[in-house]
Amino acid sequence: MIRIVTSVLAATMAMSLPARAEDLVFLSTQLRPVEEAQKMREIILKAGPVLTTYVADFPQVVPTRLAAEREGGKHTVSLVGGLHGELQPLVTAGDLMPMDVLAAKLAGRGIPPALMELGKLGTAHQMYIPWMQATYIMVANKQALPFLPKGADINALTFDQLAEWSAAVQASTGKRMLGFPAGPQGLMHRFFEGFLYPSYTGGVVSTFKSAEAEAMWTQFAALWKTVNPNSTSYNFMQEPLLAGDVWIGFDHVARMLDALRQKPDQFVAFPAPAGPKGRGYMPVIAGLAIAQGAPDAKGAEALIDYLSTPATQIKMAQTSGFFPVVTATLPDDLEPGLKLAVAAIARTQSAPDAKPSLLPIGLGTQGGAFDKIYLDTFQRVVLRGEKPRAVLDRQAEGLKKIMAETGAPCWLPDKPSQGPCPVE
Amino acid sequence: MRRSLYLAGVTMLCAWTLVPIYFLALGALGGRDLVNTFPKPFWPGSASLSTIRDFLAIDGVTGATITSVETACLCMLFSLILGLPAGYALARFSFRGANAYRLLILLTRAFPVAILALPLTVGFIRLGVYDTPLGVSLVHTALALPFAVLVSSSLFQAVPRELEEAAWVFGCSKLQAARRVVLPLALPGIAAIAIFAFVISWNEVFAASVLTVRHRTLTAYLLTVLSESPLHVQFAGGFVLILPTVAFIYLVRKHLFAMWGISNR
C-alpha cells in the first residue's frame, strides 16, 4: 500500500515539477464558465505577448487573495480582470497600481472618454483600463411572437405592452411563460437597479420610495402573475429558454447567448422594455487592472495593450458575448446567434429613449447590502404580496444608512448630488 | 411478506444511489439536446463520449488532475502517519485527558474554513507552502485527521490485547509487536481510513481554491466554474468528478465491509 502511494507520489511530483515556468498570472472574475475560460486560454491568450496562466475565480475570493498576498509579502497575481464594481474595493484596499502612462499610450484606441473616466474609480489616477462591455437584453421564442399586442414594435416595447403580451401568451397556452433570473445566483437585482427603477422613476436611489416607485411595484407585482413561478430558481435564462419552459426572458446577454447560439432560428433578441421615464438600461463594464506589487507589471501592461487592440476585441466578442470597448467593426460573417445579440445590444444603446444607468459607484464593500435592499423589496412586495408603501418606507431606511455610511454621491441616472446621494 | 418488504427496501436503497448517477450519466453522454428534453428517454438515442472528451480536453485539466492525485495521496499519507499513532495511543494507553483529547480532535472540524481563509493564506505564504500541493494537503489532513484518529482508535481497540502481549512474550519489542501483529489485523480498517482521507481531499473545494493559484486541484479548478456552465458541461464534469471516487471505493470494497465487520463485533 505504502509502496504504491510513494510511487504514485514520486511519479506525479516528477510530472509536475517542471511547472509552467515564469508565467504571468491573470486573475479574472469574468469568463468563468468552462467553455468561455477555455476559449480565453486557447484562442485569446495563447496568441498573446506573454505566457499567461488564466485563473478564473469568484468575485468574493479576489479581495481575500490580494489581501493575503499583500500581507504575506509574496505576490503571484499580476493582472486582475473584473467588473467595475468588483475592482472598486480593491482600490480602497490599495491593491491596484495606478496606470496613467499606459492609459495615455492607449488613448488612440478609441475607448469612450466616459468609460475611461469610470476606470479612475473616483481617484485622480487611471486604476483600470476598460476591457469589454455587455448589457442585459430580452430573448423571446418565436412561438410567442403571434401573441404580441397589436401595433407593438418588439424593438420598442413598453412595460405595459410586455404585460399585455405575457398575459396573452398565458391565456392561450395556460402557462406562465415570462421568465426572470431571480434564482440565488441570478442577476435579478440588476433588473431593478438598471432597468425597472430608471424606466419608471428616472432614478435609482433618490426616487427609491417615490410615488412613481409605489405605482411601479404595484404594476410589477401584477406582471408577476404571468411570470413563470420557477423564476425564483433560474440563475441563467438560457436553460429555461432552450427547454421551452420560458418563452420570453430577460437576462445578461452572456447568460442567454447559449440559447441564441444553439437555436438562432428559434429565438429573437430585443431591447428591454421602456417605462414612463424612458428605456432604462445598465451597461456592464469589465476592466483590467494591475495588482500592486505585481511580479510582472511589464508583462501585464503588454497584455492589456494586446487585449485592447481592435483585432483581439473582435475575437473576444466572437467567443464570449462581451463586446468591444474600443472602436472596432464586427465582421459581417458573425455566427447567427451572436449577430442576434449584437443587434439587440446596438438597438438598446441607440434607442431614442435610452436611459443609461450605471452600476453602483462608490459603495465599496456595501455593494452587496445595496443589492439586497432591492431584492428584499421585491421579495416582500411581489412574492409575499405586502403593500408597496409600507415596504418602501421601511427599506428606504436601510438604503439611507448605506448611502450615509459610504457617502457615495449619486450616479446616473440619479441627478448629481453634493455629498451622499439622498433618498427623497 | 417479509421477503417482499426486504426486497422493496433493497430496491429503494439501490435506487437512492443509482438513479442520480444514472441521470448524471444520461446528461453526460446524451449531449446538448437531451439535457433540455423532458421526459427523458430511458436510453439516449445517440450516446457519445464527445461532451466528456471536450471536457477532458479543457486546458489545465490534466495538470489539475495530477495536482489532485498528488494532494490526495499526501493527505492520505499524513493522515495515516499522524492518525494511526494517535489512535493507537487512545486505544492502548490510559492517560490523563484522554477524553478531552478525543473531543479536542473533533474541534478541528468546528472552524469553518471560510473564516480561516485570510489568516491561513497569509500564514502559508510566510511558510512558503502557498500554491503547492503540500500546503493544500496539510489543510486537508487537518480535516481528515479527526476521522483517522477516532476510527483507528476503535480499530486498535478491536484487536485483542492478548495477541500483542503474546508477541511481547515471544520476544518482540513493543514497536515490532505493533507492526507485525496489530497492524496486519487492522489493515482493512486502515485501508478505509486511507480512502476517506483520499476522498475528503479529492472533494474539498474551498481551501484548495483559496490556497492555490497556479496549482489547483481538479475539484477547485472545475467546481469554481462548473456551476455557471451550460448544463451538459455540468453533467459531464459531475460524471468525471465522481468516477475516481466510485472506482476507488469499488476497488477496496472488501476491506470496507471487513472494517464494518470489526467495529460491529
Give the three cell numbers for residue A224.
408577476
- Please check whether residue B48 lies inside any domain of the structure: no
What phi, psi does B181 have (nearest 5°)? -110, -55
- Please check whether residue B18 lies inside any domain of the structure: no
Cα A280 to Cα A267: distance, rounded to the nearest angstrom: 23
When CB atoms are compared, the residue of B32, B60, B226 closest to A262 is B32
Task: Tell me how far CA of residue B166 lies from CA of A182, B65, B85, B169, B182, in angstroms.
Answer: 69, 46, 21, 5, 11
Task: Tell me how far CA of residue A75 lies from CA of A63, A67, A93, A283, B210, in angstroms.
Answer: 13, 10, 15, 32, 14
Set of chain A residues whose Cβ sits within 8 Å of the Cβ of B124: 72
- Please check whether residue B213 lies inside any domain of the structure: yes
Give the three cell numbers for residue A150.
397589436
- Please check whether residue B16 lies inside any domain of the structure: no
- A25, B215: Cβ pair inside 8 Å? no
The hierarchical CATH code for the domain A2-135+284-331 is 3.40.190.10
Set of chain A residues whose Cβ sits within 8 Å of the Cβ of B66: 12, 15-16
Chain A, residues 348-407, CB within 8 A of chain B, namely none
- How does pLDDT run along chain A (424 residues), one tens digit per residue? 555 555 555 554 544 444 445 789 999 998 887 778 888 988 899 999 999 999 888 887 888 889 999 988 889 999 999 988 888 888 888 999 999 999 999 988 888 887 888 888 878 899 999 999 888 999 999 999 999 999 899 999 999 999 999 999 999 999 999 999 999 889 999 999 999 999 999 999 999 999 999 999 999 999 999 999 999 999 889 989 998 999 999 999 988 988 998 899 999 999 999 999 999 999 888 999 999 999 999 999 999 999 999 999 988 888 777 888 887 777 877 888 888 998 898 888 888 888 888 878 777 678 788 999 999 999 999 999 999 999 999 999 999 999 998 888 888 788 888 888 898 8
- Please check whether residue B157 lies inside any domain of the structure: yes
Cα A352 to Cα B154: distance, rounded to the nearest angstrom: 76
* Contacts of residue A46, Cβ cutoff 8 Å, sequence gap at least 6: none
Q: Which long-range contacts (CB under 8 A, 24 or more apart) does A163-167 make?
A: A163/A219, A163/A222, A163/A223, A163/A226, A165/A248, A166/A223, A166/A226, A166/A227, A166/A248, A167/A226
- Name the closest residue on chain A to residue B216, using Cα atoms: A55
Give the three cell numbers for residue B218.
481538479
* pLDDT(B46) > 80: no
- Please check whether residue B222 lies inside any domain of the structure: yes
Could you tell me if A4 lies within 8 Å of chain B, comparing CB atoms?
Answer: no
Chain A, residues 73-92, CB within 8 A of chain B, namely 73-74, 76-77
Cα A275 to Cα A267: distance, rounded to the nearest angstrom: 24
The pLDDT tens digits for B91-125 are 888 888 888 888 888 887 777 777 788 888 899 99
- Please check whether residue B160 lies inside any domain of the structure: yes
CATH number of the domain that residue B96 is part of:
1.10.3720.10
- A243, B36: Cβ pair inside 8 Å? yes
Give the three cell numbers for residue A383.
412574492
Cα A312 to Cα A299: distance, rounded to the nearest angstrom: 17
Domain total of chain B: 1
Could you tell me if A236 lies within 8 Å of chain B, comparing CB atoms?
Answer: yes
Cα A375 to Cα A268: distance, rounded to the nearest angstrom: 28
Q: Which long-range contacts (CB under 8 A, 24 or more apart) does A37-45 make?
A: A37/B58, A37/B225, A38/B58, A38/B59, A39/A319, A39/A320, A40/A319, A40/A320, A41/B59, A41/B60, A42/B59, A43/A315, A43/A319, A44/A307, A44/A312, A44/A315, A44/A316, A44/A319
- B222, A34: Cβ pair inside 8 Å? yes
Residue range(s) occupied by CATH 3.40.190.10 in chain A: 2-135+284-331, 136-282+357-406
- Please check whether residue B53 lies inside any domain of the structure: no
Cα A338 to Cα A260: distance, rounded to the nearest angstrom: 7
* pLDDT(B264) > 50: no
Cα A71 to Cα A334: distance, rounded to the nearest angstrom: 46
Test mutation, B136, B210, B211, B225, chain A, max A CBs within 10 A: B225
Cα A384 to Cα A112: distance, rounded to the nearest angstrom: 43
ipTM metric:
0.73
When CB atoms are compared, the residue of A13, A57, A69 closest to B70 is A13
Identify the domain containing residue B70 by its residue range: 61-230+248-264
When CB atoms are compared, the residue of B37, B67, B213 closest to A25 is B213
CB atoms within 10 A of CB A311: 10
The hierarchical CATH code for the domain A136-282+357-406 is 3.40.190.10
